[in-house]
């Protein structure tokens, strides 16, 4: 039986346990001196690294401006990002940046606009590496720009970025060699995506292409819409979590399963039964920075209360579970 504490090595980076902090934008945080990222972010991510998470994803960061070191890639923001990476390492976490490409209508993009997005994607990954991050994850999930490319029902392009699955994944696969050339050997490249794009076979096809193109880790959430398919009897997690378990059977690279995983029992169920290589925790990490240590030590977790509309999207200070951490 595989244990939660069993390390997992990806491209020479050893993840010390199987618990992952998923990328989550901290909407009500602000930077210092007019920057986007600041001390609030440093404190937030450092606390989760200290709390034992084996792998931490820094929130979706728009690649836009990366090629010109503007916007989120300005000197002040990258100083903060570098500090976050250093602090996570100090507590033994592997840390990756999630890179996102906004919410564009991909059917309207000109070829030169696609190539410009690709330049930003390359530069963002190269900069993440230079800042000390162990890897970068491209955000192909949740209906955003990159997700629309791989969604067979949304993508109506008739050029080399639409049509078959090779074309729909091309926005990333054709730039991977350039990213590899400009990052060190250990740099991890990941993709976050869903299984249903819109059919299961579409997600599986994309996952296999990404693996073949050299992606090292898949983080399986949802595509354009959350899945509603039933799970097998006795499966302790959601349909979305089950998507990750299904993709794991189709590829040889490590797969993260996520969604509404709240309890030690669920985390152990997924890892000990080899349903997933890693377990992704979203809101549970917000409400309990020590989620990983608590689960690893079989201690009580300060659980997400599953409010209908998560206050972390609007005002994190109103999260009822957070109030109980602060006493």
Ligand X SMILES: Cc1cc2nc3c(=O)[nH]c(=O)nc-3n(C[C@H](O)[C@H](O)[C@H](O)COP(=O)(O)O)c2cc1C
The answer to the question of residue 52 lying near ligand X (CB under 6 A) is: no
279 binds ligand X (CB under 6 A): no
Say whether residue 313 binds ligand X (CB under 6 A). yes
Burial of 232 (0-12, 13-18, 19+ CB in 10 A): exposed
Interface positions, 116-155, toward ligand X (CB under 6 A): 139, 141-142
Question: By C-beta, is 124 or 261 nearer to ligand X?
Answer: 261
Binds ligand X (CB under 6 A): choice among 45, 49, 55, 59: 59
Number of residues that bind ligand X (CB under 6 A): 23
> CA Rg, the chain, in Å?
19
Based on the shown chain and the rule CB under 6 A, indicate whether residue 22 belongs to the binding site for ligand X: yes
Smaller CB separation from ligand X, 58 or 176: 58
Q: How far is the CB of 313 from ligand X (least distance, A)?
A: 5
Identity of the residue, 114 or 281, whose beta carbon is nearer to ligand X in the bound complex: 281
- Compute the C-alpha angle 247/253/257, nearest 5°: 45
Residue from 8, 17, 20, 23 binding ligand X (CB under 6 A): 23
Indicate which single residue of 190, 203, 244, 282 sits in contact with ligand X (rule: CB under 6 A). Answer: 282
Please report whether residue 16 would count as binding ligand X according to CB under 6 A.
no
* Residue of the chain from 166, 174, 178, 260 that contacts ligand X (CB under 6 A): 260
Least separation in angstroms between residue 269's CB and ligand X is 15
**Closer to ligand X at the Cβ: 157 or 220?**
220
State yes or no: residue 209 binds ligand X (CB under 6 A): no
CB of 72 vs ligand X, minimal distance in Å: 12
The nearer residue to ligand X, 25 or 231, going by C-beta atoms, is 25
278 in contact with ligand X (CB under 6 A): no
Asked if 247 touches ligand X (CB under 6 A), the answer is no
Instruction: Report in angstroms the alpha-carbon separations of 21 from 25, 98, 152, 273, 293.
Output: 12, 12, 29, 21, 12
Q: How many Å apart are CA 209 and CA 70, to the nearest integer?
A: 32
Binding site residues, ligand X, CB under 6 A: 22-25, 59-60, 98, 139, 141-142, 192, 221, 258-261, 281-284, 310, 312-313
């Amino acid at each position: 039986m595989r244990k939660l504490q069993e390390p997992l090595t990806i491209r020479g980076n050893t993840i010390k346990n199987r618990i992952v902090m998923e990328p989550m934008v901290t909407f009500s945080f602000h930077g210092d001196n007019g920057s986007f990222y600041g001390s609030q972010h440093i404190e937030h991510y450092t606390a989760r690294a200290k709390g034992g998470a084996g792998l931490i994803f820094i929130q979706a960061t728009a690649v836009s401006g990366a090629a010109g070191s503007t916007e989120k890639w300005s000197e002040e923001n990258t100083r903060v990002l570098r500090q976050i990476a250093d602090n996570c390492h100090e507590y033994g976490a592997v840390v990756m940046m999630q890179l996102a490409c906004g919410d564009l209508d991909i059917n309207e993009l000109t070829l030169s606009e696609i190539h410009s997005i690709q330049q930003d994607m390359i530069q963002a990954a190269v900069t993440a590496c230079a800042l000390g991050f162990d890897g970068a994850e491209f955000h192909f999930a949740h209906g955003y720009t990159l997700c629309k490319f791989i969604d067979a029902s949304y993508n109506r392009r008739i050029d080399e970025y639409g049509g078959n699955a090779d074309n729909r994944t091309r926005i990333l696969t054709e730039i991977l060699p350039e990213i590899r050339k400009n990052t060190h050997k250990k740099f991890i490249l990941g993709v976050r995506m869903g299984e249903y794009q819109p059919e299961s076979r579409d997600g599986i096809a994309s996952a296999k292409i990404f693996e073949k193109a050299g992606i090292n880790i898949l983080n399986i959430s949802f595509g354009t819409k959350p899945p509603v398919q039933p799970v097998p009897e006795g499966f302790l997690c959601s349909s979305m979590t089950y998507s990750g378990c299904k993709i794991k059977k189709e590829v040889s690279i490590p797969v993260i399963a996520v969604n509404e995983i709240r309890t030690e029992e669920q985390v152990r169920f997924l890892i000990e039964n080899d349903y997933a290589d890693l377990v992704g925790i979203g809101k549970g990490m917000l409400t309990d920075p020590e989620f990983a240590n608590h689960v690893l030590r079989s201690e009580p977790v300060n659980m997400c209360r599953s409010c209908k509309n998560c206050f972390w999207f609007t005002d994190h200070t109103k999260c009822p579970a957070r109030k109980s951490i602060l006493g």
